[in-house]
Amino acid sequence: MDERVRAAVAGQEAYVVGGAVRDELLGRRVVDLDVACRDPEGAAGTFGRLAGGALFRLSERHGAWRVAFSDGRTVDFTPLRDGIEDDLGSRDFTINAIAVPVEGGEPVDPFGGRADLEAGRVRAVSSGVFADDPLRLLRAVRFEDELAFRMDERTEAAVRAQAEFAPAAAGERILDELLRLSSWGYARLAELGLLDELGGTASSLDVPVDTPEFRLVWFLGEAVERLPVSNELRRYARTIRGAQCPADASAREIHRFRRATEPWALDAVHMACGGRVELLEAVERARSLDPEEPLLRGDELGLPEGPEVGRILELIAEERAAGTITTREEALKLAHRERAGPD
Is the CB of residue 209 less than 8 Å from the CB of residue 280? Answer: no
192 in the same domain as 262: no
Instruction: Decide if 16 is inside a domain.
Output: yes
Q: Is residue 292 part of a domain?
A: no
305 with 199, same domain: the answer is no
**Is the per-residue pLDDT at 108 higher than 70?**
yes
Tell me what pLDDT residue 98 has. 96
Asked if residues 249 and 282 have their Cβ atoms less than 8 Å apart, the reply is yes
Say if pTM beats, i.e. exceeds, 0.95. no
Q: Where is the domain boundary, 119, 140, 168?
A: 119
Residues 64 and 11 both lie in one domain: yes
Domain finish residue from 99, 119, 139: 119
Q: Which residues contact 113 (CB under 8 A, 6 or more apart)?
A: 22, 93, 94, 95, 96, 97, 98
User: Which of 29-33, 147-151, 171-175, 302-306 shows the lowest mean pLDDT across its residues?
Assistant: 302-306
Mean pLDDT of 167-196: 96
* The predicted structure's pLDDT at residue 156: 98
Task: Decide if 160 contacts 130 (C-beta within 8 A).
Answer: no
- Say how many C-beta atoms besides its own lie within 10 A of residue 159's C-beta: 24
Instruction: Give the domain-ending residue among 242, 257, 275.
Output: 242
CA distances from 185 to 102, 140, 158, 170 (A): 34, 10, 18, 20
Total of domains in the chain: 4
User: In which band, very low, low, confident or very high, does the pLDDT at 342 lie, cut at 50, 70 and 90?
Assistant: low
Residues 269 and 190 in one domain: no
For residue 95, what is the domain's CATH number?
3.30.460.10
pLDDT in tens, 34-58: 999 999 999 999 999 998 989 999 8
Looking at the fold, whether 78 and 184 belong to one and the same domain comes out as: no
User: Is 318 within a domain?
Assistant: yes
Q: Is the pLDDT of residue 1 over 60?
A: no
Residues 268 and 331 in one domain: no
- Of residues 304 and 245, which shows the higher confidence score? 245
* Structural domain contains residue 124: no
Tens digit of pLDDT for each residue in 57-106? 987 677 899 999 988 889 999 999 888 999 999 999 999 999 999 988 89
106 and 68 together in one domain: yes
Residue 153 sits in the same domain as residue 63: no
Mean pLDDT, residues 275-302: 91
Phi and psi based region of residue 323 (left: phi greater than 0; alpha: psi -120 to 50; beta: remaining): left
Regarding beta strands 33-37 and 99-101, do their DSSP bridges make them parallel or antiparallel, or are they unpaired?
unpaired
pLDDT > 70 in the chain, percent: 98
Residues forming a β-bridge with 151 = 122
Q: Are 36 and 24 within 8 A, CB to CB?
A: no
Is residue 63 domain-shared with residue 149, that is, in the same domain?
no
Give residue 322's domain range.
298-340
Q: Same domain for 151 and 168?
A: yes
**In three state form, how does the secondary structure of the chain look?**
CCHHHHHHCCCCCEEEECHHHHHHHHCCCCCCEEEEECCHHHHHHHHHHHHCCEEEEEECCCCEEEEECCCCCEEEEEECCCCHHHHHHCCCEHHHCCEEECCCCCCECCCCHHHHHHHCEECECCCCHHHHCCHHHHHHHHHHHHHCCEECHHHHHHHHHCHHHHHHCCHHHHHHHHCCCCHHHHHHHHHHCHHHHCCCCCCCCCCCCCCHHHHHHHHHHHHHHHCCCCHHHHHHHHHHHHCCCCCCCCHHHHHHHHHHHCCCHHHHHHHHHCCCHHHHHHHHHHHHCCCCCCCCCHHHCCCCCCHHHHHHHHHHHHHHHHCCCCCHHHHHHHHHHHHHCCC
Tell me: do 180 and 282 sit in the same domain: no
167/199 same-domain check: yes
**Which amino acid is present at 78?**
T
CA distance 218 to 315: 33
Does a structural domain hold residue 293? no
Domain containing 212 — which CATH number?
1.10.3090.10
